[in-house]
């Protein structure tokens, strides 16, 4: 079997398509994002909230956002994220949260006649979601302060 010369001529470069800018920068995993943002067909324009967690060399950045065609809309960012978010929606008095930290699984049940419990999906981005990762530490601390989550598909 002989060697074949790799030809990168004008025809090759005319058909070449570059990836999206944020993918080239290594910031966005569009495969996972598509699955996190897509809306259920029976929800009718209900926002699907994501808890976005990014780990830098010095900080762990958390924010709650949801996607629109014009761009993502961010509700809360940073310290005491869950408390600020529930305060903004007026749900901090309704849902008590976990009083004592026990390490057990904690699920918030919706109360009849009140707004439903706030649910968001973890968006870890390009971070590898291995056991004990810092991303899950941010998730755990927000769960203890009344914000339930479920890790969405693609996380």
pLDDT tens digit string along 80-107?
788 788 888 888 778 776 677 777 776 7
Which two structure tokens, joined as six digits, stand for 139?
């998730």
CATH number for the domain harbouring residue 36: 3.30.420.100
Is 72 part of any domain?
Answer: yes
Domain region containing 129: 18-139
Return d(Cα 126, Cα 33) in angstroms, integer: 10
pTM equals 0.74
The residue that leads in pLDDT, 64 or 103, is 64
- Per the structure, the count of domains in the chain is 1
Is 54 a member of any domain?
Answer: yes
User: What pLDDT does residue 113 have?
Assistant: 81
Q: How much of the chain exceeds pLDDT 90, in percent? A: 13
List the structure tokens of 55: 């780990």
Per DSSP, what are the bridge partners of residue 150? 121
pLDDT of residue 20: 94
Q: Is the pLDDT of residue 109 over 70?
A: yes
112 is a domain residue: yes
Is there a domain that residue 39 lies in? yes
User: Is residue 155 domain-resident?
Assistant: no
> Measured between alpha carbons, how far is residue 131 from residues 59, 63, 137 in Å?
20, 22, 11
In a domain, 149, yes or no: no
Q: Is the pLDDT of residue 153 over 50?
A: no
Q: Evaluate whether residue 152 is within a structural domain.
A: no
Q: Using CA atoms, how far apart are residues 113 and 96, in angstroms rounded to an integer?
A: 16
Give yes or no for residue 139 having a pLDDT over 80: no
């Amino acid at each position: 079997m002989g060697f074949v010369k790799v030809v990168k001529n004008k025809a090759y470069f005319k058909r070449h398509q570059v990836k999206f800018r944020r993918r080239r920068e290594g910031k966005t995993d569009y495969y996972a994002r598509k699955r996190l943002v897509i809306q259920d067909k029976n929800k009718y324009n209900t926002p699907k909230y994501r808890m976005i967690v990014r780990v830098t060399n010095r900080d762990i950045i958390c924010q709650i956002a949801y996607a629109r065609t014009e761009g993502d809309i961010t509700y809360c960012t940073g310290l005491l994220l869950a408390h600020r978010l529930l305060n903004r929606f007026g749900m901090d008095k309704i849902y008590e949260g976990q009083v004592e930290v026990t390490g057990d699984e904690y699920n918030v049940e919706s109360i009849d006649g009140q707004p439903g419990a706030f649910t968001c999906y973890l968006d870890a981005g390009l971070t590898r979601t291995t056991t004990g990762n810092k991303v899950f530490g941010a998730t755990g601390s927000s769960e203890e302060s009344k914000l339930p989550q479920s890790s969405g598909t693609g996380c």
